[in-house]
């Protein structure tokens, strides 16, 4: 047995483009593995020279799945830069848009992309298999996601790449009629949500052994938190240690003192880390699992009940990567409940949607919990309000180190002494999908990701290809 290389290209049912390479040593055991991301578009550079109030309109194009996150983080950075407090109703409308996005994103991820691994036989056909094998479930999932996208359209003007957020609030007030329609839509899917989540939990529990065994990473976790409460829109960043102890809690505006980004030559995706713990030990995870590990309580009743059940079942902090999927379902409850609270709020249909601002020199940092984790936008503008420097740290980037680690660990489990367990492809993809990686976002760059394994000898010559 010579040194061999295994390549998985492309990884399917995730968003973005990249490949996985696994190197075997002379004994045929896994020596190393890389998840290399191909995408790059370099928004940080071409934002320079643009009027900063236009940034919320430009950065949406970083990601077509979670454009709302970029739109709002950008608007928040503009608020700070122009020193304008967003209008109360404007903030409510922004947060409602955000909840709409969560309903869409988390439904998309579970029912359309990752869920088929747990819910159907013909899982490689993804959503198409769900439609064929479980049409009623598919119909409900499609309706749930539709409600999410319609909320984004009503609040943001368009479901994909919304446009209403600007410094100081949003452009347009919501009519009572629009708010009532959203309330009715939310009520119409409430029962379905429970049914859908229960079906998903069953699907996951059927594979409980795999879920608990396949991959576990004792990592740091980081998320926004509002006085200890789970929050997706506002708060401080808390980082916890692998044992659950608080390592740091800081105002997001100080992110630069706490977070650094490491660069490797083999991927376009950078590697953020918690500076005090240094690279690579300080690499942390973000996203649904991290948010639940960091939070003490979820401030809406159903989600909090699910959260308590989750903690009773799996402990805290939870390190099993596949439980990202479960955590996402709990967040779906929160998104629906929080959206409901907002539409019931007396100020949501009020006129006070926007405060005026003056163009000036400044620096602004906007932070939000995107579906995949904490998202940071940071702009510096000159006297004319033109962007001189822009820095972006997207959610998936912060999981980069551990996605790599997970791939390596699963490969080690399934490839021994040159014997490649056929499950390796499947298992690697299942673990990567649990992170719901968005490679467009993470490299502010481009995307789509599929998985294919190629085995090469020590001279880089093709020996065998594995595809599913």
Partner 1 sequence: MKLRIAVEGLGACAGCEIAILDLHEELVSLLQDLEIDYAPILIDRKSLKENVDVLLLSGSVRNEHDAEEAVRLSEKAKITIALGSCASFGGIPGLANLYATRELLERVYLTTESTDNKEKILPSEEVPPIEKIIKPLKDWVKITYDLPGCPPQPKLIKEMFQMLLNGKPVTLSKKTVCDECDLKREEKKITRILRWGEGELESGRCLLEQGYFCAGPATRAGCEAKCLAVLMPCRGCMGPPENVTDQGAKMVSAIASVAAIDEKSGVDPEQLATMFKDVVGSLYRFTLPSSIISRRVSEGKKR
Q: Of 106-125, which residues contact partner 1 (CB under 8 A)?
A: 108, 112-113, 123-125
Per DSSP (E only), the strands in 227-293 are 229-230, 236-240, 246-250, 259-262, 271-274, 284-285
361 is a contact residue toward partner 1 (CB under 8 A): no
Part in contact with partner 1 (CB under 8 A); list of ranges 212-220, 308-316, 336-344, 380-388: 380-388
Please report, as residue ranges, which positions from 36 to 75 form the binding site for partner 1 (by CB under 8 A).
Answer: 36-42, 44-46, 48-51, 53-54, 57-58, 61-65, 67
Q: Which of 255, 307, 310, 333 binds partner 1 (CB under 8 A)?
A: 255
Beta bridge partners of 380: 363, 389
96 is a contact residue toward partner 1 (CB under 8 A): no
Query: Rounded CA gap, 325 and 337, in Å?
Result: 19
CB of 315 to partner 1, least distance (A): 32
Angular region, 356: left φ>0, alpha ψ -120 to 50, beta rest: beta
CB of 454 to partner 1, least distance (A): 10
- Cβ proximity to partner 1: between 17 and 106 the closer is 17
384 is a contact residue toward partner 1 (CB under 8 A): yes
268 is a contact residue toward partner 1 (CB under 8 A): yes
- Cβ proximity to partner 1: between 268 and 307 the closer is 268
- Cβ proximity to partner 1: between 28 and 157 the closer is 157
Are the beta carbons of 379 and 390 closer than 8 angstroms? yes
User: Which are the contacts of 34, defined by CB distance < 8 A and separation ≥ 6?
Assistant: 20, 21, 266, 267, 404, 407
**Hey, CA dihedral for 317, 320, 321, 322, is it positive or negative?**
negative
Part in contact with partner 1 (CB under 8 A); list of ranges 199-207, 210-218, 263-271, 403-411: 263-271
CB of 308 to partner 1, least distance (A): 33
Please report, as residue ranges, which positions from 134 to 193 form the binding site for partner 1 (by CB under 8 A).
Answer: 138-139, 142-143, 145-146, 149, 156-161, 163-164, 166-168, 171-172
User: Which are the contacts of 315, defined by CB distance < 8 A and separation ≥ 6?
Assistant: none
Q: Which of 216, 226, 234, 391 binds partner 1 (CB under 8 A)?
A: 391
- Cβ proximity to partner 1: between 268 and 326 the closer is 268
- Cβ proximity to partner 1: between 250 and 279 the closer is 279
Q: Which of 176, 218, 263, 417 binds partner 1 (CB under 8 A)?
A: 263
Backbone torsions φ then ψ of 453, nearest 5 degrees: -110, 130
Burial of 301 (C-beta count, 10 Å sphere; 0-12/13-18/19+): exposed
Part in contact with partner 1 (CB under 8 A); list of ranges 204-212, 288-296, 408-416, 449-457: 449-457
Helix (H, G, I), strand (E, B) or coil at 176: helix
Sequential DSSP letters for 343-362: HHSTTTTSS--B-------E
CB of 115 to partner 1, least distance (A): 12
The count of chain residues that interact with partner 1, using the rule CB under 8 A, is 103
Are the beta carbons of 156 and 165 closer than 8 angstroms? yes
CB of 236 to partner 1, least distance (A): 18
Q: Which of 235, 243, 239, 379 lies closest to 299 in space, CA to CA?
A: 235
Q: Which of 3, 10, 228, 250 binds partner 1 (CB under 8 A)?
A: 10
Structure-block tokens of residue 271: 């590697």
Q: Which of 221, 274, 357, 435 binds partner 1 (CB under 8 A)?
A: 357
Helix (H, G, I), strand (E, B) or coil at 140: helix
């Amino acid at each position: 047995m010579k040194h061999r290389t295994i390549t998985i290209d492309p990884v399917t049912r995730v968003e973005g483009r990249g490949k996985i390479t696994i190197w075997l040593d002379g004994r045929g055991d896994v020596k190393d593995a890389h998840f290399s991301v191909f995408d790059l578009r370099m928004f940080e550079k071409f934002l320079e020279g643009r009027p900063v109030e236009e940034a919320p309109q430009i950065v949406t194009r970083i990601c077509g799945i979670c454009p709302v996150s970029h739109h709002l983080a950008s608007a928040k950075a503009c608020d700070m830069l122009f020193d304008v407090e967003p209008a109360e109703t404007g903030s409510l409308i922004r947060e409602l848009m955000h909840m709409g996005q969560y309903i869409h994103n988390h439904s998309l991820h579970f029912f359309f992309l990752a869920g088929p691994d747990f819910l159907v036989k013909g899982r490689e056909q993804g959503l198409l298999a769900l439609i064929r094998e479980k049409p009623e479930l598919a119909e409900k999932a499609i309706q749930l996601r539709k409600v999410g996208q319609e909320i984004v359209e009503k609040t943001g003007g368009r479901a994909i790449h919304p446009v209403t957020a600007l410094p100081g609030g949003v452009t347009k007030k919501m009519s009572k009629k629009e708010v009532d329609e959203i309330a009715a839509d939310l009520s119409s899917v409430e029962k379905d949500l429970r049914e859908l989540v229960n079906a998903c939990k069953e699907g996951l529990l059927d594979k409980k052994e795999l879920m608990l065994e396949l991959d576990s990473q004792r990592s740091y976790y980081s998320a926004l938190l509002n006085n200890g409460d789970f929050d997706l829109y506002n708060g401080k960043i808390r980082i916890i240690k692998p044992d659950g102890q608080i390592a740091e809690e800081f105002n997001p505006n100080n992110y630069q003192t706490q977070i650094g980004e490491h660069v490797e030559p083999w991927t376009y995706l950078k590697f953020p880390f918690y500076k005090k713990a240094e690279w690579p030990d300080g690499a942390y995870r973000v996203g649904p699992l991290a948010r639940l590990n960091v939070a003490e309580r979820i401030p809406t009743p159903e989600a909090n009940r699910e959260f308590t059940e989750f903690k009773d079942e799996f402990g805290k902090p939870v390190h099993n990567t596949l439980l990202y999927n479960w955590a996402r379902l709990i967040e779906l409850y929160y998104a629906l409940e929080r959206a409901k609270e907002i539409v019931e709020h007396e100020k949501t249909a009020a006129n006070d949607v926007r405060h005026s601002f003056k163009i000036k020199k400044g620096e602004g940092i906007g932070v939000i919990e995107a579906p995949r984790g904490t998202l940071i936008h940071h702009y510096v503008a000159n006297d004319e309000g033109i962007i001189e420097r822009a820095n972006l740290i997207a959610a998936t980037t912060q999981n980069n180190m551990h996605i790599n680690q997970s791939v390596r660990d699963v490969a080690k489990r399934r490839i021994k002494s040159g014997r490649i367990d056929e499950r390796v492809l499947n298992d690697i993809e299942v673990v990567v999908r649990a992170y719901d990686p968005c490679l467009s976002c993470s490299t502010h760059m481009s995307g789509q990701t599929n998985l294919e394994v190629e085995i090469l000898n020590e001279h880089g010559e093709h020996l065998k290809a594995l595809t599913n």
